[in-house]
Amino acid sequence: MPMNAPLLSPAAGRRQRRELLQQIAREQRKQRRQHLVDLRAQIRQARAERHAALEQAKARCRAERLAARERVHALRERVLQELRQAVAAERASARETCSVRLSAARGISDRIARVRAELEADRSFQREIRRIERANAQRMRQARRATAAIHRS
């Protein structure tokens, strides 16, 4: 038996074995702690990325909602402007028609016939204005429904 290694007493062998096992346990605990630190860092990173992604999604949704609201508002304004222009043109046409009828009525030499013709011209003008207002109110309702439907979609 070669005598290169010193012989240990049983107590010294047990002590050396215990120290070796303790050292192994310390290293394993250190590795587990480091692993937990790494996992916690990964969790923190994942949460931060998730939070950033949610914030970006919220910002995109907010921007899209604002853009949609602006598009609907512009559409509504354009439609209402077109309706106002159409009503103004119809009223101008009705006034022109009324003035033509009144000038024709004023050309009548019989006083009673002239007054009747003027009254009929005024009544037809009022009927035309009421028709224009009813049509305008109906078109306004339709325009509001259409733009509201676009806004809801």
pLDDT at residue 1, as a whole number:
42
Percent of the chain with pLDDT over 70: 95
Q: What is the mean pLDDT of the chain?
A: 89
Confidence of residue 45 (pLDDT cuts 50, 70, 90): very high
Q: 139-148: list long-range contacts, CB under 8 Å, 24+ apart.
A: 139/83, 139/86, 140/80, 140/83, 143/76, 143/79, 143/80, 143/83, 144/76, 146/79, 147/72, 147/75, 147/76, 147/79
pLDDT in tens, 64-96: 999 988 998 898 899 889 989 999 999 999 999
pLDDT in tens, 120-131: 989 999 999 999
Rounded to two decimals, the pTM is 0.57
